[in-house]
Chain A
Amino acid sequence: MTLDNKVPEGPLDQKWTNYKSKVPLVSPANKRRLEIIVVGTGLAGGSAAASLAEMGYRVKTFCFQDSPRRAHSIAAQGGINAAKNYQNDGDSVFRLFYDTIKGGDYRSREANVYRLAEVSANIIDQCVAQGVPFAREYGGTLDNRSFGGVQVSRTFYARGQTGQQLLLGAYSALSRQIAKGNVAMYNRHEMLDIVKIDGKARGVIVRDLVTGEYQRHFGHAVVLATGGYGNVYYLSTNAMGSNVTAAWKAYKQGAMFANPCFTQIHPTCIPVSGEYQSKLTLMSESLRNDGRIWVPKNKDDNRSPVDIPEGERDYYLERRYPAFGNLVPRDVASRAAKERCDGGYGVGETGLAVYLDFKDAIDRLGKDVVSARYGNLFEMYEKITGDNPYLMPMKIFPAVHYTMGGLWVDYDLMTTVPGLYAIGECNFSDHGANRLGASALMQGLADGYFVLPYTIGKYLSEDIRTPSIKTDHDDFLKAEKNARERNQKLLKNNGSRSVESFHRELGKIVWDHCGMSRNTKNLTQAIEDIKSLRNDFWDNVKVPGRDDVLNPELAKAGRVADFFELGELMMRDALGRDESCGGHFREEHQTQQGEALRDDENFTFSSAWEFKGDNTPPLLNKEELTFDTVRLTQRSYK
């Protein structure tokens, strides 16, 4: 299959404007006849569903939580980027574009990223108008902070709860459309498959998680906004329910999956405390603005951190990267922490932690200022660990946080299945091999508010004569039957091991072999390990209960089953990408100082994997990336 990214002609800074002025429109009368399914109500899905409904389309929306307001986006802490240049520090659309391309280690598509930077400013306006209480200066204007990987201050924030406030904004817009009858909202429903008719996406199979009922829903187009797949690692900062199922089902129906091995390990999370651990908690990257990261200069130094004198501390980020210091991008900061801990300098009970110290900031700014900036994060830290960060440095360690990979989409955000779109974290666009902080919220809302509502019209304008397809169509019935049978199989398995125990074991394989550093031997081994564990899962998993009632174990089993298949694809992708770039660090490719070494000659492409059948290896397609505007250089934060 050839990949057409449909990037419009013309100069980079005019592509989107030209596109918008030429894109075919759908008349209001026709919009009322067209039905769109949006799966997911996070920032991407919530904003898309609301905007599409405002435009006059008939929208059906689904989420697995008990309310659309609880999507994983709610947990984002630090902020959202926008090229407003309110601080007059030299920011611009071009600079945001450039920082994103560079931060992504030159593995993303110029045209998409430029468009993202262009619409970023509108997002802030929209959210302010919805009543999002962003942080303000005393004069009443919007406040900004800076985030890792950049040298300007362009991040808008609402205390440490930016995601919450932005999501509640989108949720309020969605609620308004629900009240008007323009959106039908299905809470506690899980999508189990895409329905394709004559090659086009025409609907979904969902299961009502409360009654267990399987349902068939038709749409002229289907939009997936189902978030990232970080939970393939078992332990991650994602919400417990975050999963790959929707995207994975799309992949198996012909949508290509791009760059699955590009995952982000966030440098500042609370370290693992024991085997029982169910998830990891992020400490916002914004803490690196004022906190200093260090480990003792001496191995196995067991003194309390406050007793270790200045001269015996190694502020290793400041030492290695004097220009960016504690604000280097996430991948660089994470690897540096691993390097110190592997070397035996790690702290805490497990030796898998480094200090994040606020003493200098408190001396310089006073406790009140520090508390105004980070108070709620400090509180959260104390609740979890029992330590007070005003008195003791925090202990932190990298953890899985975000997945840059996802469904391959073209400039229109359409997957390789006609009529099937992917927005937000579940697509692969914009962040290349490493995402900059505060850019996921920006991308989710850009996709949902300002991009998809235009681009979907291009497809739907050709579909205005298609009447709604009845859901007793054979392809609907077949898809429902498959979904039902798979659940039955899980329930009747009569095995002896819980879903959780399989998930934990899978996560460990993926973390050990496809985490912060990767090599040929481990990746090859992991493919075999995952296969045999997957076979064991289908032989031995034990799923209690029935499928006609609320059964969280059953839902979890289906998700974990898909994680197995995804895990294997991640290994293949990581193995094939024989270079280091961004979060993908292949031990075979590093400089003498241990920095990642890209191979632009052979790997300036996005990998797009095509499903070929359950027992046939997937096929690698490549979207070559061309850089007309940016010159590829070795990323340097020194």
Chain B
Amino acid sequence: MSESDAFRVFDIQRFSIYDGPGIRTTVFLAGCALRCGWCQNPEAFRGEHATVLRPDAVMAEVLKDLDYYTVSGGGLTVSGGEPLLHIAPVQALLTAAKRHGLHTCVQTSGAVSQAHLAAVLDLVDLFQFDLKHMNSARHKQLTGAGTERIHGNARFLRDQGATVQFRMPLLPGINDDAENLERTADFLLGHGAADLRLVPYHRLYVDKYAALDLTPGLPALVPPTAQDLQRATERLAARGLAVAVDG
């Protein structure tokens, strides 16, 4: 099996209810160009923990819950890692999903080549697009790459008329300062986006690191308190953005 027609899957999660509309199955693909210190899916960059699968095998698993998608308006979410790194098999998977009438969602960091986004544009009903920090230097420090390509891709999706839902991990002391929040709001409003989903940082995943013999990049990071969340929500809302907090 060649790399071009298979991908490395490190998890397939059924009854995902926070990854897009309805009840969904989320397929997690290994590989990511970034190295975020708070990454909940370290398997993403330890490829040996993934299984090499062909899109049709993944699709067979996804279709097991077809009835639940039909009833709930749900479908397939492709996540990672960065799922758009190896585009051919993702394209095949999304094509199959559309053929079965599923709602499709791709969760992306935006740190991919624009050609890859272009290749799946017509196959994706919803992009969930992560914004981690507005300051490129700080972004590079936190994730290993600047914001230029990511923001360029956000613009590209807007220009192409794609449906994009922006998300932001809320990391206390890292990206929840007034300046960053305001810049984030302005960036989104400037891109015609009216809303943002805040994903509060949590530590439920830390055991995974130990199991993989890794250490989290930001071991001292703590989850936001209710006040942190409220403050951030208010700051963003004050700029005119509708803010939702993910469960």
Do A and B interact?
A: no
Where the two chains meet, the residues of B that have a C-beta atom closer than 8 Å to any C-beta of A are none
Where the two chains meet, the residues of A that have a C-beta atom closer than 8 Å to any C-beta of B are none
